[in-house]
């Protein structure tokens, strides 16, 4: 029993959170509070209705991960990212609810439930973050380097070498290239924070499409670029400088995986906000995202040796 106390605490916490999610006032619709049960069964119900459970599931996964952090390597790091995403989804949930539950013409705002769950998610993020930072700290060099590369990405996104393809936001550019470098230099976790949280938030402000688009188009969309960092140790092998088949293969694999993540995130966002089908939204994203990913991949391969030299001369001590 003593050995399994963390498991029982996690299960109990999950049950309490589940009950709270169902019956706490989640949003206000024209001044009248609605909980999750009322939203799901009193309004128009579609398969996208299950979106309301996504942040809850992430919250439960994060809670469980924190309690089990000593059993699985890097689980606290995963919990930190999962809980961060959950917090943002809770905060922006009214926008999704208003669009997908026939409430688009009504005033839908946060109520106590979403606020409480958002706060819980962010507090647990800080707890998980405290565990992660014991071995994976942001140094001054990390922050300065990340800030410089994010700034370059924003400049590229504002119009330098940028070709607008579709009228409602799609364009081909190299703005993701500095974000890929962050992932290669600082790994997936710091890369996600720099790309998804920092760059995503700033570009969401500048683009002007509204914060409701932030979770999928920006936080997850650009945060997925950090997936390249998972392959860092295979791309920069043993401090060697020079083209290698193994390094290039993993570089291509990592960039393609990040591109898939970016495409799927934007596809889901298109389905939620423009009320189009999966195929239509996916085709729209495929008009411009693969081209941008391809340009970034060409640039990364072309600068592979200079990036190796930089990483060898100025290594960053990251566990992830």
pLDDT digits (tens, 9 = 90+) for 66-83: 766 655 556 767 777 788
- pLDDT of residue 292 exceeding 80, the answer is yes
Mean pLDDT of 38-57: 66
Full domain range(s) for residue 7: 1-135
Both 226 and 272 in one domain: the answer is: yes
Mean pLDDT of 244-254: 92
End-of-domain residue from the set 135, 169, 202 = 135
Both 205 and 261 in one domain: the answer is: yes
Both 276 and 161 in one domain: the answer is: yes
pLDDT digits (tens, 9 = 90+) for 199-223: 998 898 888 777 767 778 888 899 9
- pLDDT of residue 289 exceeding 80, the answer is yes
Both 160 and 63 in one domain: the answer is: no
Both 2 and 56 in one domain: the answer is: yes
Whole-model pTM: value is 0.73
Mean pLDDT of 140-168: 82
- pLDDT of residue 103 exceeding 60, the answer is no
Tell me, what's the pLDDT at 133? 59
Both 145 and 275 in one domain: the answer is: yes
Of 75, 55, 87, nearest to 196 by C-alpha is: 87
End-of-domain residue from the set 109, 135, 161 = 135
d(CA 79, CA 61): 7
Tell me, what's the pLDDT at 295? 93
- pLDDT of residue 275 exceeding 90, the answer is no
List the single range of 28-37, 98-107, 260-269, 300-309 with lowest mean pLDDT.
98-107
* pLDDT classification of 300: cutoffs 50, 70, 90: very high
d(CA 35, CA 270): 26
User: Which bin fits 25, alpha (ψ -120 to 50), beta or left (φ > 0)?
Assistant: beta
Cα→Cα distances 298→81, 196, 294, Å? 29, 22, 6
Q: What is the CATH number of the domain that holds 243?
A: 1.10.1760.20
Residue 175 contacts by C-beta under 8 Å, 6 or more apart in sequence?
153, 154, 156, 157, 162, 292
List the single range of 22-26, 74-78, 109-113, 268-272 with lowest mean pLDDT.
74-78
């Amino acid at each position: 029993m003593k050995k399994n106390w963390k498991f029982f605490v996690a299960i109990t916490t999950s049950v309490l959170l589940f009950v709270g999610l169902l019956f706490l006032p989640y949003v206000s619709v024209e001044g009248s509070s609605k909980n999750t049960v009322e939203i799901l069964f009193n309004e128009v119900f579609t398969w996208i209705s299950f979106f309301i459970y996504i942040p809850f599931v992430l919250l439960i996964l994060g809670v469980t991960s924190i309690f089990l952090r000593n059993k699985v390597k890097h689980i606290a790091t995963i919990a930190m990212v999962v809980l961060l995403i959950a917090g943002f989804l809770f905060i922006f949930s009214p926008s999704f609810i208003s669009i997908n539950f026939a409430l688009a013409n009504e005033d839908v705002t946060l109520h106590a439930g979403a606020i409480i769950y958002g706060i819980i998610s962010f507090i647990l993020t800080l707890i998980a973050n405290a565990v992660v930072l014991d071995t994976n700290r942001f140094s001054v060099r990390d922050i300065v380097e990340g800030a410089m590369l994010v700034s370059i990405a924003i400049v590229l996104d504002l119009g330098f070498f940028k070709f607008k393809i579709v009228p409602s936001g799609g364009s081909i550019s190299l703005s993701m290239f500095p974000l890929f470098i962050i992932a290669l230099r600082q790994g997936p976790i710091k890369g996600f924070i720099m790309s998804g949280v920092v760059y995503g938030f700033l570009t969401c402000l500048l683009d002007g499409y509204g914060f409701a688009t932030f979770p999928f188009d920006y936080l997850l969309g650009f945060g997925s670029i950090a997936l390249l960092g998972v392959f860092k140790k295979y791309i920069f092998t043993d401090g060697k400088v020079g083209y290698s088949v193994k390094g290039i293969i993993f570089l291509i694999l990592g960039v393609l995986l990040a591109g898939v993540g970016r495409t799927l995130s934007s596809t889901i966002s298109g389905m939620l906000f423009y009320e189009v089908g999966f195929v239509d939204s996916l085709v729209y994203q495929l008009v411009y995202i693969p081209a941008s990913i391809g340009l970034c991949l060409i640039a990364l391969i072309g600068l592979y040796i200079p990036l190796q030299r930089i990483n060898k001369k100025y290594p960053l001590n990251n566990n992830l």
